[in-house]
Amino acid sequence: MRLLDDVYSFAATGPRTPAGWQKDALAVMNREVGDPRGWITLDWDKERDGEPAKNSPSFPFVPLSDTELTRRLSPVTAETAARLLVITTYEWGPPGTEEETRAASADARTLLDRFGDRISCYSNITEARTTPSPDLTTGVTGWNPLTEYDGDFGVIVVSPEEVGVFWSFNPI
């Protein structure tokens, strides 16, 4: 929670099914499933002022097919996924002080450890189109949008048992 709680983000996990990880990720984005372990979900848009959101079930994500989701994502390494989680904490730019970066990196590794050793990670950052381990020292500079906002990026983590969606939004 410390990692993503101060930024406009979405962090939720759902179960894996025989339907495939893409459909499982979309079920998480559409709020159709809950966390299989009952852990905390960060979802700023589930309710507004104590009332259920009146937008589409996937808001702020646009409704996507599993094919369209796959087209907008590229594989990234677990190390890159951890770096992306840290970058979301610093609103898409380079991390803060060395101490802050170390703490955020430890939080990111803790989050990814939940999924075990056999994970696949995917992101919509454009830098991942050419390499699963891009240089992110200057932050994220481009993305294939999954929302109608000016910007969004994140990581989908897939294990044999679960799929996690960790996303950051820039609605400006």
pLDDT tens digits, residue range 93-131? 666 778 878 888 898 999 999 999 999 999 999 999 999
pLDDT band at 51 (very low <50, low <70, confident <90, very high): very low
Q: Where do the DSSP E strands lie in 37-150?
A: 42-43, 47-48, 51-52, 74-76, 120-123
Residue 54 to residue 102: CA distance in whole angstroms? 39
Confidence (pLDDT) at 46: 66
Which DSSP helix (H) or strand (E) runs through 162? strand 162-170
Q: pLDDT class for 152, splitting at 50, 70, 90?
A: very high
- The backbone torsions φ and ψ at residue 74, rounded to the nearest 5 degrees and listed phi first, read -135, 150
Q: Are 87 and 125 in contact (CB under 8 A)?
A: no
Mean pLDDT of 144-171: 91
Tell me if 88 sits within 8 A of 168, measured CB to CB: yes
Across the chain, mean pLDDT equals 86
Q: Label residue 146 by pLDDT band (50, 70, 90).
A: very high
2 or 44, which is more confident? 44
